Amino acid sequence: MSQYLDIEALNQQIGIESAFLDKLIEQQKRIVVGQKHMVDRMILGLLTNGHILLEGLPGLAKTLAIKTLAQSIDASFNRIQFTPDLLPADIIGTLIYNPANQNFAVRKGPIFANFILADEINRAPAKVQSALLEAMQEKQVTIGKESFKLEEPFLVLATQNPIEQEGTYPLPEAQTDRFMMKVLIDYPTPDEEREIMRRNLSKQINEKIEAILHPDDILKARTAVSKIYMDERIEKYIINLVFATRRPEQFKLKELSQWIQYGASPRASIFMALASKAYAFMQHRGFVIPDDIQNVCRDILRHRIGLSYEAEAENINQDEIISRILAKVEVP
């Protein structure tokens, strides 16, 4: 009985602490037409300190969405266009010699911002990708002999173009694993596109965005997210979903063995638990339910399942495999 009362009290507390999200999402809707899934995932990443890999065609409001989010919480934003001639120093910064006093001064790069849009990350060579991914992992940058902490909150959205492959350097599996989620972005609906067209013609797209939050509010929200209750049965459900990608035959999914070259890493379990807590927080709820896990599952697992030649030959993708796993693994 006392545990029930504790959860009820936590539920009420989370309801109060998560109230600001409604205003934040409403402001995003005012500027960004459609793309609800992408906007939700950006907020999830912000609440969990996790980075996001976006895959979609150009012109689908990726820059607008992250810029709006940054302005809404009074945070700094930088967009880095990745190109084949980019150098690590172009991202993290470098030492500049000052002849006046005959010493070197640090010039910080664009990585020093709360929100980073790494546009077409697969266009840059491995050294540049590694420099960005190291900053994402360590939350700090070393220039010369000095180390500099990155600002908090720090969120990287890296984009990939799914069509053009010429002149690209695909991210290795070990590096994509560092992204919390891989989010697929699709075209808007006809009604949404009509609204986009009207807004652009009326210049409504340039509407001023007011800061309704402060970066400190996001750091407080992260503390609230960590308090959300997760039952042992929910934890086991997450573990079973991840293990089904590694040993599908144990979950009566033997047919998946021929399609999976390698399964999800332990980061999948960690990120799924974090993301499901954050999703519950976004629903103003103090506890995680199976629906929360099912909602974030595809974005967490999609880039962590390696496909075999057989899967590619039969046009089987990761989402098809995840759907079969969700249908088979017992829900608590």
Whole-angstrom Cα distance, residue 102 to residue 96?
A: 11
Rounded mean pLDDT, 290-301 = 93
Tell whether the model's pLDDT for residue 3 goes beyond 60: no
**Lowest-confidence pick of 60-69, 156-165, 246-255, 308-317:** 156-165
pLDDT tens figures, 62-119: 778 888 888 888 888 888 888 888 888 888 888 787 787 878 777 888 888 888 888 8
Which is higher by pLDDT, 270 or 168? 270
pLDDT at 2: 45
> Which tokens hold the place of 45?
């990443």
Q: Which CATH superfamily is domain 230-328 in?
A: Magnesium chelatase subunit I, C-Terminal domain (1.10.8.80)
Reported as a pLDDT band with limits 50, 70 and 90, residue 165 is low
**Lowest-confidence pick of 158-162, 200-204, 322-326:** 200-204
Write out the DSSP string of 90-105.
HHHEEEEEETTTTEEE
Tell whether the model's pLDDT for residue 20 goes beyond 70: yes
SS3 call for 285? coil
Question: What DSSP character marks residue 74?
Answer: T
Question: What DSSP character marks residue 251?
Answer: G
Residue of 116, 111, 110, 123 whose CA lies nearest to 160: 123
Whole-angstrom Cα distance, residue 93 to residue 9?
A: 48
Place of tokens 């989370």: 14
Instruction: Indicate the CATH number for domain 2-219.
Output: 3.40.50.300
SS3 call for 206? helix
Tell whether the model's pLDDT for residue 171 goes beyond 80: no
> Which tokens hold the place of 237?
């459900």
Whole-angstrom Cα distance, residue 273 to residue 296?
A: 10
Compute φ and ψ for 145, nearest 5 degrees: -105, 0
Question: What DSSP character marks residue 262?
Answer: E
**Residues of the chain above pLDDT 90, percent:** 14
Residue of 156, 178, 189, 180 whose CA lies nearest to 82: 156
Tell whether the model's pLDDT for residue 240 goes beyond 90: yes
Question: What DSSP character marks residue 187?
Answer: P
Strand (E) or helix (H) holding 226: helix 215-226
Are the CB atoms for 245 and 260 separated by under 8 Å? Answer: yes
Residue of 212, 155, 224 whose CA lies nearest to 20: 212
Q: What is the CA radius of gyration of the chain?
A: 21
Strand spans (E) along 20-133:
52-55, 77-81, 93-98, 103-108, 115-119
Reported as a pLDDT band with limits 50, 70 and 90, residue 272 is very high
| Sign of the C-alpha dihedral computed for residues 180, 36, 217 and 93 taken in this order | positive
Over the chain, what is the mean pLDDT?
Answer: 84
Bridge partner residues of 93 (DSSP): 108
pLDDT at 286: 86
Look at phi and psi of residue 252 and say left if phi exceeds 0, alpha if psi is from -120 to 50, else beta. left
Q: Where are the domains positioned within the chain? A: 2-219, 230-328
Tell whether the model's pLDDT for residue 1 goes beyond 50: no
pLDDT at 218: 87
**Residues of the chain above pLDDT 70, percent:** 94
Are the CB atoms for 63 and 80 separated by under 8 Å? Answer: no
